[in-house]
Structure 1
Amino acid sequence: MNLPFRLALAALILSMGTSALAATPATPPAATQTAAKPVPGTPVPAGSPQQTGPIRFQFAIYYAKTPATDPMAALRGALGKSGGSPKLLASMPTPSSVSAPVVFANWNTTTVLKEYRAPDMESLQRFGRGISREQAEALQKADKALILDFAHPSQQSSTAMQKALQVTLQVARDTGGLLWDEETREVFSPDEWQKRRIDSWANGLPDVSQHMTIHAYRSGEMVRAITLGMGKFGLPDVVVSDFSWSSNRPMGSLLNAFSQAMAEGITLAKPGQFDMDLRALKHAAARDPLLSGLKTNAAAVARLSLVNGTWESGDPQNRLYEIRFDRYKGPDRYAQQNALLSSVFGADEDPVTRLKHNDELLAASKAATAQLPKLRDAFAKGLQPGEYILVKAPFTTAAGGNEWMWVEVARWNGDAIEGLLKNEPVDVQGLHAGQMVKVSQAKVFDYIRIYPDGRREGNETSKIIARMQGAKK
């Protein structure tokens, strides 16, 4: 099956994946559920997020050429090298009979190109890990794969997962193959698998950002992001909806942090609520980058509201926890969202410049507004994933003047622009940063267009304002 294209968060602090295109197994594995399907939108239960039934997941090893040695013999050798390895079975057991770690191996040499085809070149460019172009091209003709279905009791999640990772790597090294993670939809070189999936453990805990990916894509007028890979640990994947591309970095950090907290064994004291302290994360490599990126006014604590998520096409076949923001104040969900992110990670100080518009500034604004019809057309045709537009517009103050603030465009129809307010008002009552507002194109003063690669255009007036401010000092 072809899954919907998604571009991953482009500027996250921790490692993420990029595309949701995936190879197609004959029988896709799903995280084992032991309870009735939860109702979307209802609070998640109190207690541990860890599932109680057996955990199942699938890895594979692709071969673009004849393996250096028989993969099944290499597998038996890897399983026999150390204690605690899963038992090799002739068929996968029923969930109720999984009382110890097991693995079922399918050495497929006949239907790989039809039923388990490796990702195409475009996909490998986005989620190939340590894969050369030569290897990616060779994978397009790969007609052999060793498909490994692992299962173990949830109580043995950490130890059994480490052993499965090590066994799969050993077989790939012995046979000369490339590794595939079915849940995260990534292909790895053996060295990259070693680095990300094995060396990243510390004191029995995974750096979970190295074991899952985050896919983010436009959903309607806003963005939706979801983790893939948490089912391998018997944990729900995490989703957050209705945010803007300009918030991709803190949203990615939020998803990473909560996923890490679950992997470290948190419990929820109340249904649908969890107070997450970034400083309480145990894994240093997962915790320290988050803390080092905090601004001076950051609280480092997120009061999360958690509900059962709504599954969409392309999502992992797993339980979903959706993060909501209604434990924070704000006139709408966007303002509440902004309040959480600003509180947890801190907010930039937003100095107010008070000045009169001179001829030079007005000329620069006129040149900028001349570009607005072209920007509106580009917006209507559809921006690239990760691309967004800000416009600077006036908001009337209590004294009758104007406070000029930036708005991230969510809708643009004719003269009417709707979007998220990106500044915290100083002289305008009743507005909050992050709130959905409406402005007129005819009154826009300047614009900024941000491309997925971080390039920016526009905002020429800021240079003049900075010079004017400097001259006043």
Structure 2
Amino acid sequence: MTFRFLIFALLTVTLSSSQNKIPKGNLSDDTIFFEFAIYFLKNDKIDDDEAKKIFKDQYPNFKVHDTFPNPDTLKGNNVIITGVDNVMIDFPPMDLEYLKYTNQGLTEREKTDLQTSKYALVLDFTCEKNQLIASLKKANDYIFSLIKNKDAVVFDSETRETFSKKFWKEKRLISNKSVNLAEHITIHFYQKDEFCRAISLGMLKFGLPDIVIENLSCKSGPELASFINLIAQTLFEKQALEKSGVLNLDINTIENKPLKTRLLSDLYENATKQAEVQLIEGGLEEGDPENRLIEVAFSSDNPQIEQNEVISKIFGSLDEVTFLKHDEKLEAASNRAKAKIPELQKLFLAGLPLNTHLLIKFPFESEDGQREWMWVEITKWKGEKVDGLLQNDPRFVMTLKAGQKVTKNINDMFDYILYKPDGSQEGNETGEIIMESQR
């Protein structure tokens, strides 16, 4: 048993889906909880008695508990340090498959040795919100003091990440009163039915709800992570909503300099750096963090249009238009792409592997008869009909917008791109020919 289940009773948690606006006012919990674990590898170890003594000597303003205190009477800064001898039963580490996606700097040897760890220290902290930064800094510093000369790794129970000593020192030690939340939370992004869902993990450590966005394009770029990090940092720095269901975002007002610098470095020329987003109560799903959820709300009919517009408004966008005539070389490349239709259909209907995306280029006609070729992210394929999300902002077809749901006949396909999990891609031979013609 860990501190988590006792402290969870102190939190106000939304357990069902709702379209209720987040009310204005304070968003933060009065009592904040965070949990870490140190897994010792091979035969290394610091037992809980020694760990408690070290902590008491370094941080006398914390109350060190030997047993779980009553949550109703809990005040100030508290810690309970629990030694776990039967690791694989009582506090098992993440397995090798999960570590492929969540490890932070672990070597292959550390990943393997973690699977047979014989001893762990579980550290559960609580503090009052006005002591959060100081308490989190002390907790992270204390953990590093324990592991720096040991063969050990650190697990963050909220983000579900496992850190090497080097990465813990680089990413989690707080040097001043300003915290870059992007270094302390993570974002899970996964397919849900036709579209994708993004959710933060780790906001509980800051007494705030985690952030969820539903029905996203699965081809969402790095701007989505920047968007969520901007929301998280804004919530942390403001701590409250001035108006029910509304959060104003502005990169220029971010106080944390490292995050602000990073966000400003990723902008296109047409970026406004600000936008207003709507917030409603989010619904918990299996695998979500044990925390309140705030959903960034968009229109229910075709939310991908509004998602694209808001993110593009903040960070800007770049859509280049190329004018050209189709020649024999281009048509031959397009025909080779069309010959792949049966193979692509079979692959798509079997279920694309994780982080694999299929884009197909189709022609669209404007009201005055101009033809414009644009990319569509495929979300459904039935017979000759494919459904998808438009990936470009049209120049001539003014009835369409990026993110809009469209339906096309696969036989009208001009080319395709298959994005693979390793970052490589297949297809787009016509794109290479077009680029050559522009040189």
TM-score by length of 2: 0.93
RMSD (Å), alpha carbons: 2.1
Q: Is 2:100 aligned against 1:125?
A: yes
Stretch deviating more after TM superposition (286-295 or 243-252) = 243-252
The CA distance in 2 between the partners of 1:204 and 1:409, in whole Å, is 45
Give the C-alpha shift of residue 469 in structure 1: 5.0
8 Å Cα contact 1:421-1:433 kept in structure 2: yes
Secondary structure, counterpart of 2:58 in structure 1: coil
Give the C-alpha shift of residue 350 in structure 1: 2.4
Secondary structure, counterpart of 2:197 in structure 1: strand
Q: Is 2:320 aligned against 1:350?
A: yes
The CA distance in 2 between the partners of 1:144 and 1:202, in whole Å, is 30
8 Å Cα contact 1:268-1:274 kept in structure 2: yes
Residue equivalent to 1:369: 338
The CA distance in 2 between the partners of 1:74 and 1:93, in whole Å, is 19
Listed as ranges, the matches of 1:171-210 within 5 Å are: 171-173=146-148, 176-198=151-173, 201-210=174-183
Stretch deviating more after TM superposition (32-41 or 136-145) = 32-41
The CA distance in 1 between the partners of 2:12 and 2:160, in whole Å, is 27
Secondary structure, counterpart of 2:358 in structure 1: strand
Aligned partner of 1:134 among 109, 115, 118: 109
Give unmatched runs, 5+ long, in structure 1: 1-24
Aligned partner of 2:311 among 335, 338, 341: 341
Give the C-alpha shift of residue 438 in structure 1: 0.6
Secondary structure, counterpart of 2:241 in structure 1: coil
Residue equivalent to 2:387: 418
Aligned partner of 1:65 among 39, 42, 48: 42
Give the C-alpha shift of residue 265 in structure 1: 3.2
Residue equivalent to 1:20: none
Give the C-alpha shift of residue 96 in structure 1: 2.5
The CA distance in 2 between the partners of 1:277 and 1:304, in whole Å, is 11
Secondary structure, counterpart of 2:268 in structure 1: coil
Stretch deviating more after TM superposition (376-385 or 121-130) = 121-130
The CA distance in 2 between the partners of 1:284 and 1:315, in whole Å, is 30
The count of aligned residue pairs is 437
Q: 1:253-277: per-residue Cα shift (whole Å, max 9, x none)?
A: 1111111122223421111101100
Residue equivalent to 2:280: 307
Q: 1:220-243: per-residue Cα shift (whole Å, max 9, x none)?
A: 111111111110111111111111
Stretch deviating more after TM superposition (55-64 or 441-450) = 55-64
Aligned partner of 1:143 among 96, 108, 118: 118
The percent of aligned pairs where both chains have the same amino acid is 33
Q: Is 2:428 aligned against 1:452?
A: no
Q: Is 2:69 aligned against 1:96?
A: no
One-letter amino acid of the structure 2 residue matched with residue 95 of structure 1: P
8 Å Cα contact 1:70-1:175 kept in structure 2: no
The CA distance in 1 between the partners of 2:240 and 2:120, in whole Å, is 39
8 Å Cα contact 1:71-1:175 kept in structure 2: no
One-letter amino acid of the structure 2 residue matched with residue 114 of structure 1: I
The CA distance in 1 between the partners of 2:301 and 2:269, in whole Å, is 26
8 Å Cα contact 2:65-2:80 kept in structure 1: yes
8 Å Cα contact 2:10-2:71 kept in structure 1: no
Residue equivalent to 2:263: 290
Q: 1:75-123: per-residue Cα shift (whole Å, max 9, x none)?
A: 3123312454x221122223322211111121121x3211311122222
The CA distance in 2 between the partners of 1:115 and 1:260, in whole Å, is 34
Give unmatched runs, 5+ long, in structure 2: none
Listed as ranges, the matches of 1:151-162 within 5 Å are: 151-162=126-137
Stretch deviating more after TM superposition (30-39 or 407-416) = 30-39
8 Å Cα contact 2:13-2:291 kept in structure 1: no
8 Å Cα contact 2:415-2:428 kept in structure 1: yes
Residue equivalent to 2:241: 268
Residue equivalent to 1:8: none
